[in-house]
Structure 1
Amino acid sequence: MLFSFLRYLQPTSYFSLKKFSGESIYPVFKDLPIFIKEQLLPDSNFISVSAREYDLSWQAIQKGYIGTVETYKSFNKLPLEDEYHFISKYFNRAWVVYVLLIRILSFRNPFKELRAFLNSRKVCRSTYLKSPLEYQEWNNFKSLLVQEVPKVSVIIPTLNRYLYLKDVLEDLEKQDYKNFEVLVMDQSEPFQPDFYKQFDLELQVSYQKEKALWLARNTAIKQAKGDCLLFFDDDSRVDAQWISNHLKCLDYFKADLSSGVSISKVGAKVPANYCFFRVSDQLDTGNVLIKKRVFEAIGLFDRQFEKQRMGDGEYGLRAYVNGFLNISNPYAKRLHLKVGSGGLREMGSWDAFRTKKWFAPRPIPSVLYLYRRYFGNQAARRALWKTVPLSIMPYQFKSNKPMLVLGALLSILLLPVVLFQVFKSWHLASKKIKQGPLIEKLE
């Protein structure tokens, strides 16, 4: 990793992995264009020259650099003080303390660790998200791809949500881009074929008896006629420029995937790290446009995630390591209603880390399958240390810091139960790993 302490705080980040080409995501600082360098802030408080350059490379990616300059293939070992300085600069102080404790409990020299930690206590937190890189040509960019009007296939799995699906299809009727088909994979009981007669769309509806989300999407991919596949959820709302903004993004950045952003209520702000263009480190099949050639190259969705979680995250990671460019697109927004019934809530696990029953696996086994398959067992354990204690509290408190701290304390009191949950998940994930990926090729 660019800074080795990221292995504690971001153990399963896309960007912690190199691509199959051997390249990392991080650009060699000296090769960056001058206008990009001018928007980065050098930090002379790092001890080593390498740390100063790595910090600027980190800034470039976090602030939205998207380019083709050479990237680092290996990283130099950095002084301990630089490692603590870096995480103090970009992460909450509580996480710095967390790293210190992990390091000491791992039998590192406590005196060296404490000295480096104390030297970082006056480091100021970076405000890099307030000054992202700007792509000023975007507003006036006339997309040749949009003018060529390629066929787009909008894929929507649905389960017992006709009330919300009506709004979804009405939003699609209003799109300013017209050359698209809609493939609905309906798993509802009872199935209502007459419901679809009211819409003025090129609509292909298939009834799927089995309640299986990834089977539904894979089936639709094989049926799709489009050169680009746009994945959508049945409880979402979008504006009239949704499709055209996705296509424009692919063209502007010569990208392979355009990952739109989501908000959960009208008037809500888009999170700061999704407010600007950047290389995406996530994929959400509720709002992403993917060129069909990506599926032809790396296959369909892995059905090891059926009725569980993170199938879309795995696909984004698979695309990343295979060298496909995925752009986080702030202009392709959707309102995700996250309604309380239907969909994944009825067919499996909606929350990846929070269990409904005392002795259910925590996290959902597919999560550990993903972590262990791509990042290895050690990184998976680090991810468990970081996420499981905070998942004790219910989902509605996930942004409430005092409640998260309370959850971490409760995890100590509930340690026997939590350990049982984690070991159960690890065991079930091992079965998935032994079986291997269930990835079908797109012929």
Structure 2
Amino acid sequence: MPFSFLSYLQPVHYFRLPKRDGHYAFPNVAALPEDILKEIPEDAHYKSQLSKDYDRSWQALHRGYIGKADTYQQFEPLPLADNYRFAFKYFSKWWVLWVLLMRLAGLNNPFKELNAYWQVRNTPRSTAYNTPIAQLTLTSKTDLVNRSPFVSVIIPTLNRYAYLKDVLTDLEQQDYRHFEVIVVDQSQPFQPEFYKAYNLELQLTHQTERALWLARNTAIKRAKGNYILLFDDDSRVSADWISNHLKCLDYFQADLSSGVSISAVGAEVPAHYAYFRVSDQLDTGNVLIKRSVFETIGLFDRQFEKQRMGDGEFGLRAYLNGFLNVSNPLAKRLHLKVGTGGLRDMGSWDAFRTQNLWQPRPIPSVLYLFRSYFGTKAAKRALWRNIPISIMPYRFKGNKWLVVLGIPLSLLLLPLVVLQVAKSWRLSGIKMKEGARIERL
């Protein structure tokens, strides 16, 4: 990563890792077009010229540059004060303080750390994410839409007929018509007559085992389309949803189009999801993927069955293999996040929050992902970063002050939390010994 403090702030982020070809996601500033550089002036307050360049590269990637410029293959060490300045610019001051404490606990020179921190303590928080470097507009029709490729829309469902009726109705109203719908129904009781009311090319499979990744893998293998559109059974979309996904792939010559999810009608899309950019996540409730991606890297890893982050692992695998995933603000869905059915019947709402005090924290598949791809040190830093703020229940996740309250609470509950983490570490180790369960297409 361009700034070393990201190993504390984002220890298990996609962009921390180089791709298989040795290149990172960050564009080399020397290779960026002049019109892009004009929109990202140098920050003269950095001590090092390299820091200024790396900051511009960070901004280019996170503010929406999706181009052909060469990317960095390695990063040089930077002055300590520049690392603190970067952290203050793009992260909360509380997270910067946390980095300072972690570095002091790691026996770094306290005089150098405190001096560097103090020098740049008044660095203002950047608002760069609110301003994309280029306002991109997809044309009303693209070559790909005009060629009318066949799309396979895949929906696993479990005890959600009341919501699935709206999902299928929205698909009936799509302005792009060349698609099939593959539903893998795990409901009990199974109601095949439910599907007769819809004017859709529909493949229906009844799966007796409640297994999300098995359902998706089964549907992908049966899909006739060269474009696989993954969808959830508790979502609503507009009539241009499919066409906007296709336009994104075409416009950027991308391999994956990751749509945006909002959880309330009329809710504002978060600033960093409001424009096209290279995506650092994958949500299998709203993503269009070329079939060739599955043919190259395989299907979903069933080590994540009935647990969490199977979609995150697939997105990371695609990134590492050089596939371009674009965050697409036009392909929005309303995610109802209903409290019954679906994954709610199988596991936790959240990767780090347990349903009861005796369950492992985090969900073992989370540590399996972290340890497998990022290593033990990064996994431990991710635990230090996320465990304290996960103590408060999921329903308080959006309340900043209650989440902060979780930090002292985690100290009071320290013996129990240690046992939860140890259990998760042990179970994730078993997964690692077993190895990935990735079937080839």
- Residues 373-429 of structure 1: per-residue CA shift (max 9 Å, x gap): 000010000000000000000112212111111111100000000000000000000
Does 211-220 or 263-272 show the bigger shift? 263-272
Distance in 1, matches of 2:322 and 2:13, equals: 16
Distance in 2, matches of 1:140 and 1:365, equals: 44
What does 1:26-175 correspond to in 2, within 5 Å? 26-136=26-136, 138-140=137-139, 142-175=141-174
SS at match of 2:220: helix
Distance in 2, matches of 1:407 and 1:149, equals: 51
The one-letter code sitting in structure 1 at the alignment partner of 2:198 is F
Stretches of structure 1 lacking an aligned partner (at least 5 in a row): none
What does 1:23-422 correspond to in 2, within 5 Å? 23-136=23-136, 138-140=137-139, 142-422=141-421
TM-score, scaled to structure 1: 0.99
SS at match of 2:384: helix
- Residues 120-146 of structure 1: per-residue CA shift (max 9 Å, x gap): 11111111022112244x243531000
Distance in 1, matches of 2:347 and 2:115, equals: 48
Distance in 1, matches of 2:82 and 2:439, equals: 45
Residue 308 of structure 1 contacts residue 350 of structure 1 at CA under 8 Å; is this kept in 2?
no
SS at match of 1:140: coil
Distance in 1, matches of 2:346 and 2:99, equals: 38
Runs of 4+ in 1 over 4 A off after TM superposition: none
Coordinate RMSD, CA, aligned: 0.8
Distance in 1, matches of 2:425 and 2:121, equals: 37
SS at match of 2:181: strand
**Residues 296 and 139 of structure 1, relative CA distance in 2, 3 Å threshold:** closer
SS at match of 1:42: coil
- Residues 86-117 of structure 1: per-residue CA shift (max 9 Å, x gap): 10111110011000000000001000000000
SS at match of 2:261: strand
What does 1:3-22 correspond to in 2, within 5 Å? 3-22=3-22
Residue 145 of structure 2 contacts residue 243 of structure 2 at CA under 8 Å; is this kept in 1?
yes
Distance in 2, matches of 1:276 and 1:259, equals: 12
| CA shift for structure 1 position 201 | 0.1
Distance in 1, matches of 2:257 and 2:175, equals: 18
Distance in 1, matches of 2:183 and 2:139, equals: 34
The one-letter code sitting in structure 1 at the alignment partner of 2:36 is I
TM-score, scaled to structure 2: 0.99
Distance in 1, matches of 2:263 and 2:348, equals: 19
The one-letter code sitting in structure 2 at the alignment partner of 1:399 is G
Does 391-400 or 257-266 show the bigger shift? 391-400
Residue 156 of structure 1 contacts residue 231 of structure 1 at CA under 8 Å; is this kept in 2?
yes
Distance in 2, matches of 1:351 and 1:95, equals: 21
Residue 307 of structure 1 contacts residue 349 of structure 1 at CA under 8 Å; is this kept in 2?
no
Residue 155 of structure 1 contacts residue 231 of structure 1 at CA under 8 Å; is this kept in 2?
yes
| CA shift for structure 1 position 348 | 2.6
The one-letter code sitting in structure 2 at the alignment partner of 1:61 is L
The one-letter code sitting in structure 1 at the alignment partner of 2:238 is D
**Residues 141 and 135 of structure 1, relative CA distance in 2, 3 Å threshold:** farther
Distance in 2, matches of 1:341 and 1:299, equals: 31
Distance in 1, matches of 2:222 and 2:48, equals: 55
Q: What is the count of residue pairs matched by the alignment?
A: 441
Distance in 2, matches of 1:253 and 1:70, equals: 16
Residue 158 of structure 1 contacts residue 343 of structure 1 at CA under 8 Å; is this kept in 2?
yes
Distance in 2, matches of 1:373 and 1:141, equals: 43
The aligned counterpart of 1:431 is 430
| CA shift for structure 1 position 63 | 0.4
Distance in 2, matches of 1:130 and 1:240, equals: 28
Distance in 2, matches of 1:321 and 1:372, equals: 16
Stretches of structure 2 lacking an aligned partner (at least 5 in a row): none
Structure 1 residue 2 corresponds to structure 2 residue 2? yes
Distance in 2, matches of 1:139 and 1:427, equals: 48
Does 389-398 or 174-183 show the bigger shift? 389-398
Residue 138 of structure 2 contacts residue 251 of structure 2 at CA under 8 Å; is this kept in 1?
no
Distance in 2, matches of 1:401 and 1:168, equals: 33
| CA shift for structure 1 position 350 | 2.9
- Residues 149-201 of structure 1: per-residue CA shift (max 9 Å, x gap): 00000000000000000000000000000000000000000000000000000
Distance in 2, matches of 1:141 and 1:135, equals: 16
**Residues 263 and 341 of structure 1, relative CA distance in 2, 3 Å threshold:** same
